Amino acid sequence: MGILEVKNVGKRFGGLKALSDVNLSVAENSVHAIIGPNGAGKSTLLNCLVGKLIPDTGSVMFDGQSVLGRKPYQINQMGISRVFQTPEIFGDLTVMENMMIPCFAKRDGAFELNPIRAITAQKDIIAHAESVLADMNLLEKRDMHSASMSRGDKRRLEIAMCLAQEPRLLLLDEPTAGMARADTNNTIELLKEIRDKRNITIVIIEHDMHVVFSLAERITVLAQGTPLVEDVPAKIKGHPKVREAYLGESQPA
Amino acid sequence: MLGLDRKDFILLLVVFALVVLAPFLLNPFPTNSAMAQFNAGYPDLMQRFVIFGIFAIGFNLLFGLTGYLSFGHAAFLGVGSYSAVWMFKLLSMSVVPAIIASVIASGIFALLIGYISLRRTGIYFSILTLAFAQMSFNLAYSVLTPITNGETGLQITLADPRILGVTATESGSIPVTNLLGAEMRSTYIMDVGTWAFQFNVGYYVCAAIMLLAFYVSVRIFRSPFGLMLRAIKANKTRLNYTGLNIRPYTLAVFVISGMYAGLAGGLMASMDPLAGAERMQWTASGEVVLMTILGGAGTLIGPVLGAGVIKYFENIFSKINSSVLESWFAFMPENMQHAAVYVSEHFVGPGWHLTLGLLFMLVVTFLPGGLVEGGQRLSRLFRRKPQKDAARDSTQSNPAE
Amino acid sequence: MSNRLTRRGVLRTGAVAGAGLAVPTIFTGSSARAYTNEPTGSSVTLGFNVPQTGPYADEGADELRAFELAVEHLNGGGDGGMMQTFSEKNLKGNGILGKEVKFVTGDTQTKSDAARASAKSMIEKDGAVMISGGSSSGVAVAVQGLCQEAGVIFMAGLTHSNDTTGKDKKANGFRHFFNAYMSAAALAPVLEKMYGADRKAYHLTADYTWGWTQQESIQAATEALGWETVNNVLTPLAQTDFSSYIAPVLNSGADVLVLNHYGGNMVNSLTNAVQFGLRDKQVNGKNFEIVVPLYSELMARGAGENIKGIPGSQNWDWKLENQMGDRYTGTNAFVQSFGEKYGFPPSQAAHTCYAQTLLYADAVERAGSFDPCAVAEALEDFEFDGLGNGPTLYRAADHQCFKDVVVVRGKENPENEFDLVEIVEVTPREQVEYAADHPMFAGGNLGACNSGA
Amino acid sequence: MDAIILQILNGLDKGSAYALIALGLTLIFGTLGVVNFAHGALFMIGAFIAVSVQKLLSLSYVTLDETRTDFLGNPVKVETPYVVEWFGPEVGATIIDWSVPIAILFAIPIMALVGYVMERGLIKHFYKRPHADQILVTFGLAIVLQEIIKHYYGANPIQTPAPDALQGSFDFGVLIGFDPNVIIYPYWRMVYFAFAALLIGSVFAFLQFTTFGMVVRAGMADRETVGLLGINIDKRFTFTFAMAAVVAGLAGVMYAPINSPNYHMGMDFLVLSFVVVVVGGMGSLPGAVAAGFLLGILESFASMNEIKSILPGIDQIIIYLVAIIILLARPRGLLGRKGVMEE
């Protein structure tokens, strides 16, 4: 029984069948990648996991509980964090402020009405945020305006924000999209470190085979809304069905 | 100190000093001088400065922090005023129940309107709040006249019950608003040479409440709650996926902000027990938007500055008439005097709107951060001079908060 | 150091010349004054509070001209205007009680709040001992209440609602202008003469206090003639296009349309009614007619040709003395000095403001003091003449002036933009008088005079 | 039945004015991304172009008539318009009579110029600024424009009549089988409706069938992409703004005979036209037009006695009430798209 169990999920947009009969089981503390050509339904599936979309059929269970019908913030409170394709951070705020928000969300829940307690008095939150920043090599930038950071640092910050919540499942949506090779490699190293150091399950949606094969323990190939194969990376490489699905995309970028 | 860091505490002290010394600071010119026209240190205007300061501080909590632009905030001010006057009519002339009632009533009203309006964001939210406020105004002016006394405004009369107070004084007049017996309108006038400084009980009551309101607003800015509000403005998507529920935050701050407006309305009625429907009109809502942006939205002190500037124009510039101008330019030869009067006439008296319009355009064009940015630039200018050769001063100023 | 906390409005507690800053001993309660803003120097300050921005700005400007003229005359400048024809001869052109008259101005914005703020600044900052002006009843009632509290005299400008001297009357407030009841009482007999006693009236009424009292008054007066009231429709104040209110009128069986509107509302509703061709129609075998109970000459210009032949009432008209004779003496003197100074004849708003200023000044002279209570006493039941309206009474019971009312109608061939109305008749004072406890004015209480002491 | 037809007619007319102002407003929103609080002022300037042209055409020279005296005893001044002098009494009078339609010819270039100057001189600096700043600066501009008009024309309304031939009203009811006087409708209002329909039609045709219009529509759909196309977007923005100004101005010119223009008429329409735009959906041209007519007609219905007697004061709030209901039922207005002006 995996920590994330997706059963028979289907989703239609009007006449278009975006997902049908998707079954997926992600084992705890593993790295699971979902790959597939453009339009295969990867993002739709992800959105079904985080509550942005509600599937028409099937079920999504996280740690034995259904996520369906819950709002994104509720699903996050269950222990699922998400990293976006383009880093979504609080651009107007400093790095430290960015970090504190998930920390508060983790400690105080979805809403806490106490408008006048001081941030500066929240020593545990500050300490925790700083330790995660240190882990991510961002500590020296703690007072920087986050919008003015480089893209790689923004990505790092976003991941740091997710990790600060100590999620049980981290969802990454094409974390290296649009990155230069060097940045991509840095990100791979970062994710490897996270994988190795923390007790965390990672589901990664990726286009870039290099990233996938460096990180994943299991890979699901999605095509036209349905899982084609699921296996360990070594077997996925050179699998005829996968080649078929990627035909014409000899250089998946 | 008081749970604030050093910078904020200094700011609070500065505001405290300004507010306490306002009767001196706003009356820099001797009573009989030609410049006395520019004196603003009389009770009514000083009260207005701090009351509209409270209104703008509250508005800024909503708009400056979350970015939700409410175009109907005057409705809460109006509800606060009406509640306060009704307290004066029914209970007693003490300002305490009036102010409490105004805050509670406007809070409830804000809860209702906020609950519905906050289902939408952006300009759709603005129009919803505008629509509610305009409905309130139109109804208060006409159909609801039994409650609001329509066009003439709700006033206290000699026929009011005032069950905890007196209906009329011994001399047959309407009693006046007071706090524990101290009348809001009592004023000391201190004559110093040719200066006259006025110390008004009502002003100091308002000032004390304004300082408290300001202090609470600083605390909100510096709290996790305030951080969440700024996060709402910065990135709603990220906030959603960070396990935070946006709606209760926005609703909470909307209600707090509405209560600030109601407090301002209650204080207005306490200083001058009359509540007119036009307090709720969209132009009044627009005014607080302009105050906040003019001063600097999202900054702590900006809204108070903006409120002061707009009220100053409204009350001082509008009173400068051609005969005043003639006396100013009396030193000039006659032709020049006429020309000077003719030109300046367009900007004062009946033309004060024009000056205000030009000010809006100039400030927003050249000082995108409002007056606060102007102040920062000035202080940077002064600060840099003495240490020209010193090691490069950090030009990166902290946001004025 | 006697540190007395006064229970008054604005009172000077001390005058210690050259005292150092922030020395508490300056709080000496020695020379407390007898009443609010008692003038101690060689001059006295009056406050003129008129709309300078907003839709009534032109009316406000005309009121301000009249105030300036009155001050000039009081200080001995110009030709003296109505001071020469005034039945009282206390004003000598040496100011008031020998003190030079100075004035301050403010902008009411036609909003009660702004008007009160402006009046307060005149009282608190400029030391005004009397406030006058205003161009709407809401503002007048609000400022009157303020003056009562502060202990200064309020000489109302243009305010026509019954409430100003009815439900909301105040001991410190005085109104020279006529009111809705008087309009209706004056208009009714003339309407009967013009249109007969068998008419069906349709009312469009501005949906706020003034509109209601106006409608109530005119309905009562016309029904007493035998007219039938078909319908009364309330229109929102903010309405600019009245087409949807006017369109159903013709089909209602009514043959008279009464527009209980003022200012911009009046201009628009009248323009719309004429657009719909109401005046070209025949209903019940009679010509369809339109009535505008309260006329404003300044606003009438905005309606232009549409105003031709439409009857209404005015407090005063600048042609009164020429056309109706010596009874209205003062009119020409005022028109002459106003016209010389500004180049055009004054409006009724200007006239009432000028008259109020002179009346105040004269009352102070007679009382021998600026003390509001003394002035009020001098004004109460004061009979005078020569201010352009004929013999006039300031009634003590409600501080309302009683005088003849002018019934006018839009002129067919105006010679210029100041000659838009012609006088139809003058309804004598007796016909427009009413008891002070008339139901339309009931519910108020003058209260006691307040001098701020 | 007759009452309903009557109120639909009235509503169409009010709707025309709302739709014309809202059209320009939403065009500016959609393409330039600017919240233009000075749009009401453009409408007002249009109306005052009608006033000015009327004054210009009746510009007169003055002769003194010694036989009569005015109220001060001076000789009466007799004014004779130059056009009467030049073209003779009849032609001259006709020219003055038709001054409002003639004003249209003046309004197009003047409004285009006003729009050009406004956009180049002020608005373009605010494309990237927050909406709050745009509101403040355009509101300031609206006040300034309004005060300038007040300075020259005063605060009172100024009557600007329609040509004699188009005054009076038409008995519409007789045409469709009702009694006389049941459904009457002024000629000028019919002209206004027709004019509005024509103007709206031309704007749509222009956007639909020209390359320029295509770019503008593309810009409304996705501003950033159009910017990337490398098309000289600046020039097109200026033109769009000028076009919106002309539409508002023409709406104002033709509105002058319906209600005498005054300097604050722009502010009176501003809030309503914003409500119209938002109810229609931000940046949606058909939405603005549909909402304009819808609100106009509902407003007319609400003023009916039958309805007012059930719900007193409903005519005071109907527009706002409808706006609230529509926005709650359809989050982005009638025809709005997701993501426009939601931040």
Going by pLDDT thresholds of 50, 70 and 90, the confidence category of residue D340 is low
Predicted confidence at residue C15, as pLDDT, reads: 36
Chain D touches chain A, with at least 3 Cβ pairs below 8 Å, answer no
Sheet order of strands, A57-62 included: A16-26, A4-13, A57-62, A65-66
Chain C touches chain A, with at least 3 Cβ pairs below 8 Å, answer no
Q: Chain B: give the shortest CA distance to residue C286, in Å.
A: 35
- Residue C214 and residue C152 share a domain: no
Predicted confidence at residue B390, as pLDDT, reads: 41
Interchain pair D182, C336: CB under 8 A: no
Predicted confidence at residue B395, as pLDDT, reads: 35
- Residue C144 and residue C270 share a domain: no
Q: Chain C: give the shortest CA distance to residue D284, in Å.
A: 26
Predicted confidence at residue A110, as pLDDT, reads: 86
Predicted confidence at residue D142, as pLDDT, reads: 93
Residue C415 corresponds to which tokens in the numbers above?
């010679």
CB of C225 closer than 8 Å to CB of C213 = no
Give the tens place of pLDDT for each residue, C392-420: 999 999 999 999 999 999 988 887 777 88
Predicted confidence at residue D228, as pLDDT, reads: 65
Predicted confidence at residue D229, as pLDDT, reads: 63
Residues 256-285 of B with CB under 8 A from A: 256
Predicted confidence at residue C29, as pLDDT, reads: 33
Least confident of B387-396, D73-82, D166-175: B387-396
Does domain D2-61+108-329 match CATH 1.10.3470?
Answer: yes
- Residue C171 and residue C130 share a domain: yes
Give the tens place of pLDDT for each residue, C361-374: 999 999 999 999 99
Please give the mean pLDDT across all residues of chain D. 87
Average pLDDT score over residue span B271-294: 90
Residue D99 to residue D251: CA distance in whole angstroms? 15
Interchain pair C141, B186: CB under 8 A: no
Amino acid at A76: N
Asked if residue C322 belongs to a domain, the reply is no
**Cα–Cα nearest to C410, from C395, C423, C397, C393:** C423
Chain D touches chain C, with at least 3 Cβ pairs below 8 Å, answer yes
Residue C72 to residue C91: CA distance in whole angstroms? 12
Predicted confidence at residue C1, as pLDDT, reads: 31
Q: Given a cut of 70, is residue C165 above it in pLDDT?
A: yes
Domain assignment of residue C252, given as a range: 181-314+405-432
Give the helix, strand, coil percentages of chain D, each rounded to 5.
Answer: 70, 5, 25
Give the tens place of pLDDT for each residue, B17-45: 999 999 999 988 888 787 888 888 889 99
Predicted confidence at residue D341, as pLDDT, reads: 64
Interchain pair D317, B142: CB under 8 A: no
Q: Taking CA atoms, what residue in C is nearest to D163?
A: C275
Least confident of C29-33, C52-56, D157-161: C29-33
pLDDT above 90 covers a percentage of chain B that reads 52
Residue B246 to residue C17: CA distance in whole angstroms? 61
Interchain pair B134, D328: CB under 8 A: no
Give the tens place of pLDDT for each residue, A176-193: 877 788 888 888 888 888
Asked if residue C11 belongs to a domain, the reply is no
Least confident of B172-176, C40-44, D231-235, D306-310: D231-235
Question: Going along chain A, which residue ranges are E strands?
Answer: 4-13, 16-26, 31-35, 57-62, 65-66, 80-83, 169-173, 201-205, 218-223, 226-231
Residue of D156, D170, D179, D264 for testing the chain C interface, max C β-carbons within 10 Å: D156
pTM to 2 decimal places: 0.91
Residue A161 corresponds to which tokens in the numbers above?
């924000």
Which residue did the predictor score with more confidence, D150 or D72? Answer: D150
Residue of B123, B291, B353 for testing the chain D interface, max D β-carbons within 10 Å: B123
Average pLDDT score over residue span B124-144: 91
Amino acid at C423: I
Neighbours of chain D (3+ CB pairs under 8 A): B, C
The contact set of A with B (CB < 8 A) is 50, 71-74, 76-77, 81-82, 84, 88-93, 97, 100-102, 104-106, 108-122, 125, 161, 165
Chain B touches chain C, with at least 3 Cβ pairs below 8 Å, answer yes
The ranges assigned to domains in chain D are 2-61+108-329
Helices B246-271 and B43-66, axial angle in degrees (round to 10): 170
Give the tens place of pLDDT for each residue, D186-245: 899 999 999 999 999 999 999 889 888 888 777 777 766 666 666 677 788 888 899 999
Average pLDDT score over residue span C305-332: 92
Give the tens place of pLDDT for each residue, C72-118: 999 998 888 899 999 999 998 999 999 999 999 999 988 888 899 89
- In C, which residues are within 8 Å of D320 by CB distance? none
- In D, which residues are within 8 Å of B294 by CB distance? 136
Q: Chain B: give the shortest CA distance to residue D118, in Å.
A: 13
- Residue C208 and residue C61 share a domain: no
Q: If DSSP codes are grouped into helix, strand and coil, which group holds residue B41?
A: coil
Average pLDDT score over residue span B151-174: 84
Q: Chain C: give the shortest CA distance to residue B13, in Å.
A: 20
Predicted confidence at residue C302, as pLDDT, reads: 82
Which residues, listed in sequence order, are joined to residue C99 by a DSSP beta bridge? C96
- In A, which residues are within 8 Å of B249 by CB distance? 111
Average pLDDT score over residue span B318-335: 83
Residues 216-255 of D with CB under 8 A from C: none
Give the tens place of pLDDT for each residue, A76-129: 999 999 999 888 999 999 999 999 999 999 998 888 888 888 888 889 999 999
Predicted confidence at residue B391, as pLDDT, reads: 39
Q: What is the CATH classification number for the domain harbouring C236?
A: 3.40.50.2300
In eight-state DSSP terms, residue B176 is: -
- In C, which residues are within 8 Å of D2 by CB distance? 251
Average pLDDT score over residue span C172-187: 94
Please give the mean pLDDT across all residues of chain A. 87
- Residue C331 and residue C214 share a domain: no
Please give the mean pLDDT across all residues of chain C. 87
Contacts of B367 (CB under 8 A, 6+ apart): B373, B374, B377
Q: Given a cut of 50, is residue C20 above it in pLDDT?
A: no
Q: Taking CA atoms, what residue in D is nearest to B121?
A: D342
pLDDT above 70 covers a percentage of chain C that reads 93
Give the tens place of pLDDT for each residue, B205-241: 999 999 999 999 999 999 999 999 999 999 999 999 9
Predicted confidence at residue D268, as pLDDT, reads: 83
- Residue C243 and residue C129 share a domain: no
Helix intervals (H) in A145-237: 151-164, 181-197, 209-215, 233-236
- Residue C190 and residue C41 share a domain: no
Predicted confidence at residue D198, as pLDDT, reads: 94
Q: How many domains does chain C have?
A: 2
Average pLDDT score over residue span C291-318: 88
CB pairs under 8 A between B and D: 127
Going by pLDDT thresholds of 50, 70 and 90, the confidence category of residue C24 is very low
Q: Given a cut of 60, is residue B315 above it in pLDDT?
A: yes
Give the tens place of pLDDT for each residue, A121-161: 889 999 999 999 998 888 999 899 999 998 888 888 999 99
Predicted confidence at residue B397, as pLDDT, reads: 35
Least confident of D51-55, D77-81, D106-110: D77-81
pLDDT above 70 covers a percentage of chain A that reads 96
Pairing, β B182-183 against β B178-179: antiparallel
- Residue C409 and residue C391 share a domain: no
Please give the mean pLDDT across all residues of chain B. 88
- Residue C240 and residue C124 share a domain: no
Interchain pair C57, D154: CB under 8 A: yes
- Residue C170 and residue C187 share a domain: no
pLDDT above 70 covers a percentage of chain B that reads 95
Predicted confidence at residue D235, as pLDDT, reads: 82
Which residue did the predictor score with more confidence, C185 or D309? Answer: C185
Average pLDDT score over residue span B131-146: 91
CB of B261 closer than 8 Å to CB of B106 = yes
- Residue C276 and residue C225 share a domain: yes
Domains of chain B with bracketed CATH: 6-315 (1.10.3470)
Helix intervals (H) in C196-343: 209-225, 243-246, 263-275, 297-303, 320-324, 331-342
Helices D187-209 and D211-221, axial angle in degrees (round to 10): 90
pLDDT above 70 covers a percentage of chain D that reads 96
Give the tens place of pLDDT for each residue, D278-291: 899 888 889 999 99
Give the tens place of pLDDT for each residue, B5-18: 889 999 999 999 99
User: Residue D141 burial by CB count (10 A; 0-12/13-18/19+): exposed, middle or buried?
Assistant: buried
Q: Given a cut of 90, is residue D51 above it in pLDDT?
A: yes
Predicted confidence at residue A250, as pLDDT, reads: 46
**Cα–Cα nearest to A200, from A168, A176, A164:** A168
- Residue C70 and residue C170 share a domain: yes
Asked if residue C4 belongs to a domain, the reply is no
Q: How many CB atoms lie within 10 A of CB B338?
A: 13
CB of B175 closer than 8 Å to CB of B93 = yes
